[in-house]
Structure formats: structure tokens, C-alpha cells
């Protein structure tokens, strides 16, 4: 097989976007993905979101080492092993992040990644169905929609946030992020609008894309230049060669693993596993970050929650309607209202996020209460805790060692206590008076700092937003892994384009910023003039 211009590892959020933009420009691309097809009701039906991330067919099945600050618990770390990557198994929530997230990136050495630089790529990638706005795009491959909020609990949550003193916000992805309002989702015509649906299928139609289902083992080099990828395809070791460059878009877990297997990473760690050091980059696998959250749950005094459908007959009816018409409860992820607030007056911009759900249930789909209820997922946005991804062995088929080091910074505990107390204030507002029953979780007796901390230690869960393990920065920054053009520092012909590059985690869910990274990476790779937003937009955003 003749070499493609570019070889991309990982058909996830960034990889699909990158493949589309490169093939659109006339380049040939080979895309390596270990997972299989995304065709199936559990992925394509938004209401079935709790299933694919718990299915070995679609999920890598990673988990952390025992997290010492969470009572030694091992937390699940789902990553998509399927076309579309994690965009095919996630909750479909769409959040860009805050202007100040990206300005921080630039201030920390990621020149050209400030808000003014990334806004045009957010606009280019989306078809927003919320009207006209100078901050939003309407012609992109990624459809962004809102649920209909037919359940009265959705609007009660927005009204309660306003009654508690926060503004209403009709578009947290627009000019301002702070406030309560409708939540946005990557759902279109009742289907999950993953990166596979938005980008990969159009890329295939160009005739320039080849998708190979295989395990990427390591990057191949000639002298100091990446020239291809060694793969395991059905037990056969093969080489997939690149005419121009290799790009790793394998996730913030698998990308650092591949870099280290290829000899790029902390030298001492590589030598421990018998790997020849090609570039000593201690930042590879460092700077690992995530969002933790807790579920604040209440019983409902009225039978208005989704519990009515939380049985075999109810689920069957929902499924049949979706299969026949792509409508009904199955056409929504049920995250239809949300909030972004600050934990204190001295906080510069929102640091707490809410996802509201009209059901008391866990993310894996298990009911928390036998009866009607509702909940808010709540957690701090900018934890100061940092962890690592490391090799457990030099076996490419082995899982890496994932240690988030959750809750290792004292400020994390203060911010989580604020989450609990502020959430209670919101649910205590008049808007919930007719619905609010007993507090299921944490429970009304959990009041002191010590009691709240004990609850967090036992019940905090990942929001599944890992990032940061190959961060972008100045070429002379010893802990940076890629330069602002996403070129891996210390070698040639190799780039990274996924959430690994984030210097610091962004406000909210990471699918949007990950896709933006793939979009922007394409222009860097193609040598195009980079887009930049009108100052009138960026200076008034918050």
C-alpha cells in the first residue's frame, strides 16, 4: 500500500475532525482505530447513553490505581474504543469552555491558542440551531441542539438558580458563560451527532481516507523523523507509512502511552521498561487532570420524573418510538438544563458546573432511589490536583497506569464543600417547593465540613474529562510536549492533536474543545493562515 500523506492514530473527536479537514484539502489520510463500528442503537440513541461506556465492545475499560485521597477507590476511566472515540460513548453535552480558559493557555506559553485564536474554529465546526449570534457558527459539520425541556423539572432548575441570585443565561457558549439556562448537546434529528457522524462519514466520501482497524504499537522513525506507525492487525505486525507526518489523536490516556512506547517521555521511566530513549520529555504523561463531581439527589413529591419510564415496559416503549420516529425521550440525553456559577465573590470566573437530570440515578444507569426523584451533577471546574499516566510494561497491548491523584490539593476540598452548600441553596428556592422531597444524597444529616468530606471521599465520581498529558507550550519549556503548532518537541514529523495538549482543563465538558483542537490542528498542518476573531467579540466575552 502506497503511503498516505498523513497517518492519524485514533478516530475520536479530534482525529475525525482532523481527517475530514485534511481530506477536504485534497490530502490522503490513513486513520488507525482499534475499535469497530459505531452503528447500533446503544450508541446512536441519545437516551441510551449509560450503556456504551459500560460495554467492553465500545470502551477501553481503563481504571485508575487506588486513589489515596478517595479512600483507596479505583475509579473507572472510560475511553471510546469505537469509530467516533469518546464522542460515541459520552453524554453528548456540548460546552466550549470559558474565554479565560484559553487566555490562560496562551499566557502559559501556548501562543496562538488564546480565545481570539480558538473562537473562529469553534464557529467553523458547528451548526448551531439556537438562532443567530456573532459568537456562534451555523454552517459547520457538528450540529448543536437543545432539548425541548418538556419536563417541568428542567425549567424549575433554571428558575431556582435565578431565585438564588444567579442570572439566566440563554447561551453559555456565546458571549457569557455564567448563569442558568438550557444545556446544549451534539444531537441532530434525534440521533447522537458524534465526530463519526459529523466528520468521519463525510471524509470517507472524499475517497481520500483509508480507515484501518488495528492496534497502534509505536511510532516508526527514520533518524529523528517519524515516518509511520507499527500496528498489530489481527495478530500480524505491519507498518503503515506516512509521506508527510504522523499525528497522534489517541486520547489523553493512549497518546502519552504511545509516545512513551516510541521512546518519547521521561527518560528514567522509559529505561525502566527497556525502551530506548529518543527524546527525554518529562511532560509526557504528566499534568493529568479531570473533573470530579457528586450527585446531589432528592425525592420528588410529584410523579413527574423519568422514573415512570424506568422499567422494562417503559424503556421498551421509549426504544420503539425512537426506532420508528427518532423522537420522544430516546431522542434526548436528558441533560436539558444547566448552570455555571462562581463559588465566591473573589473567584474570577465560573468554577462550578451543574448538569440537571429529572431522575435520581447513577451515570452507569443504576437507580439511586425506588421512586420519583431528581438530581444535579455538580463539581469544581479547575482542580489544582495533578496526576500521571505511566507505562505498566512495554507491552503495547497492556493498559497504562493511571493515577489522577484526585483531591490531593486542599483547595479541592474547599471547593467541593461550596458545591454541596450552594446546591442546597438552589434546591431550597420556591421554584422547587412543590417538587422537593427528602434529600437522598448526601442526606440532611451531612452538614459539617468533616461529614461533607467523608461523603466526597466515598461518593465523588469522575466526569470522564481526562486531559493534559502532552501539553502545548513554548519549545524551550522543559515540561511542554508539543509546541504551539502541535509538533512534538525533540523529533520531526510527529504531532499530537487531542485533549492531551490542554495546558489546563477547560470549564465544562471536553468534547467541544477536543474537536476544536482537531479543526485547528488541520490548519497548522496544512500551513494555512490561522484564523483570528474580531476583537469586538473577544474583549466583551466572559
- Tell me the β-bridge partners of 33: 213
Question: What is the Cα–Cα distance from 192 to 332, expressed in whole angstroms?
Answer: 9
Question: What is the Cα–Cα distance from 77 to 462, expressed in whole angstroms?
Answer: 8
List Cβ<8 Å contacts ≥24 apart for 323-327.
Answer: 323/41, 325/190, 326/189, 326/190, 326/191, 327/190
Q: Are 250 and 494 in contact (CB under 8 A)?
A: no
Closest CA to 173 of 108, 111, 110, 129: 129
Question: What is the Cα–Cα distance from 181 to 297, expressed in whole angstroms?
Answer: 20
What cell numbers appear for 280 in the block? 527525554
Closest CA to 184 of 50, 337, 43: 337
46 Cβ partners below 8 Å, 6+ apart? 92, 185, 187, 190, 191, 192, 330, 331, 332, 333
Residue 346 CA to chain centroid, in angstroms?
Answer: 28
Q: Has 465 been annotated as catalytic? A: yes
Cis peptide, bond prior to residue 491, ω within 30 of zero: no
For residue 55, give the 3-state DSSP assignment: coil
- Looking at 273, 355, 465, 524, which residue is catalytic? 465
Residues acting as catalytic residues: 465
Amino acid at each position: 500500500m502506497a503511503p498516505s500523506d498523513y497517518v492519524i492514530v485514533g478516530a475520536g473527536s479530534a482525529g475525525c475532525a482532523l481527517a475530514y479537514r485534511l481530506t477536504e484539502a485534497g490530502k490522503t489520510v490513513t486513520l488507525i482505530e482499534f475499535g469497530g463500528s459505531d452503528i447500533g442503537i446503544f450508541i446512536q440513541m441519545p437516551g441510551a447513553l449509560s450503556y456504551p461506556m459500560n460495554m467492553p465492545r465500545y470502551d477501553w475499560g481503563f481504571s485508575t490505581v487506588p486513589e489515596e485521597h478517595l479512600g483507596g477507590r479505583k475509579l473507572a476511566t472510560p475511553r471510546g474504543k469505537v469509530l467516533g472515540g469518546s464522542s460515541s460513548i459520552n453524554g453528548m453535552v456540548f460546552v466550549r469552555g470559558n474565554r479565560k480558559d484559553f487566555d490562560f493557555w496562551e499566557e502559559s506559553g501556548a501562543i496562538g491558542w488564546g480565545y481570539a485564536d480558538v473562537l473562529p474554529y469553534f464557529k467553523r465546526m458547528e451548526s448551531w440551531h439556537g438562532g443567530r449570534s456573532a459568537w456562534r457558527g451555523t454552517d459547520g459539520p457538528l450540529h448543536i441542539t437543545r432539548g425541548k425541556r418538556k419536563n417541568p423539572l428542567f425549567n424549575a432548575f433554571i428558575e431556582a438558580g435565578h431565585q438564588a441570585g444567579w442570572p439566566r443565561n440563554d447561551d453559555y457558549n456565546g458571549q457569557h458563560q455564567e448563569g442558568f439556562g438550557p444545556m446544549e448537546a451534539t444531537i441532530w434529528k434525534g440521533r447522537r451527532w458524534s465526530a463519526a457522524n459529523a466528520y468521519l462519514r463525510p471524509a470517507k466520501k472524499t475517497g481520500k481516507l483509508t480507515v484501518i482497524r488495528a492496534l497502534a504499537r509505536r511510532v516508526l522513525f527514520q533518524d529523528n523523523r517519524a515516518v509511520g506507525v507499527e500496528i498489530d492487525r489481527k495478530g500480524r505486525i505491519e507498518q503503515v507509512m506516512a509521506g508527510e507526518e504522523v499525528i497522534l489523536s489517541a486520547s489523553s490516556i493512549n497518546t502519552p502511552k504511545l509516545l512513551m512506547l516510541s521512546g518519547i517521555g521521561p527518560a528514567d521511566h522509559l529505561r525502566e521498561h527497556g525502551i530506548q530513549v529518543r527524546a527525554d520529555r518529562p511532560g509526557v504523561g504528566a499534568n493529568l487532570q479531570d473533573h470530579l463531581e457528586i450527585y446531589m439527589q432528592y425525592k420528588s413529591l410529584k410523579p413527574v420524573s423519568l422514573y415512570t419510564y424506568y422499567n422494562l415496559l417503559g424503556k421498551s416503549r421509549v426504544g420503539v418510538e425512537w426506532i420508528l420516529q427518532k423522537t420522544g425521550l430516546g431522542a434526548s440525553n436528558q441533560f436539558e438544563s444547566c448552570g455555571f456559577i462562581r463559588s465566591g465573590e473573589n473567584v474570577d470566573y465560573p468554577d462550578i458546573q451543574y448538569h440537571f437530570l429529572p431522575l435520581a440515578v447513577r451515570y452507569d444507569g443504576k437507580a439511586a432511589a425506588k421512586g420519583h426523584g431528581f438530581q444535579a451533577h455538580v463539581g469544581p471546574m479547575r482542580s489544582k490536583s495533578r496526576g500521571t499516566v505511566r507505562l505498566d510494561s512495554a507491552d503495547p497491548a497492556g493498559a497504562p497506569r493511571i493515577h489522577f491523584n484526585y483531591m490531593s490539593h486542599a483547595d479541592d476540598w474547599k471547593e467541593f464543600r461550596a458545591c454541596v452548600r450552594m446546591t442546597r441553596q438552589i434546591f431550597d428556592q420556591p421554584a422547587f417547593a412543590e417538587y422537593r422531597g427528602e434529600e437522598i444524597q448526601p442526606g440532611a444529616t451531612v452538614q459539617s465540613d468533616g461529614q461533607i468530606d467523608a461523603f466526597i471521599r466515598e461518593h465523588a465520581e469522575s466526569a470522564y474529562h481526562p486531559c493534559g498529558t502532552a501539553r502545548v507550550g513554548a519549545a524551550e519549556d522543559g515540561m511542554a510536549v508539543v509546541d504551539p503548532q502541535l509538533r512534538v518537541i525533540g523529533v520531526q514529523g510527529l504531532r499530537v492533536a487531542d485533549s492531551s495538549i490542554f495546558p489546563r482543563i477547560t470549564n465544562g465538558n471536553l468534547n467541544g474543545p477536543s474537536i476544536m483542537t482537531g479543526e485547528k490542528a488541520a490548519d497548522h498542518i496544512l500551513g494555512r493562515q490561522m484564523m483570528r476573531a474580531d476583537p469586538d467579540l473577544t474583549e466583551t466575552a466572559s
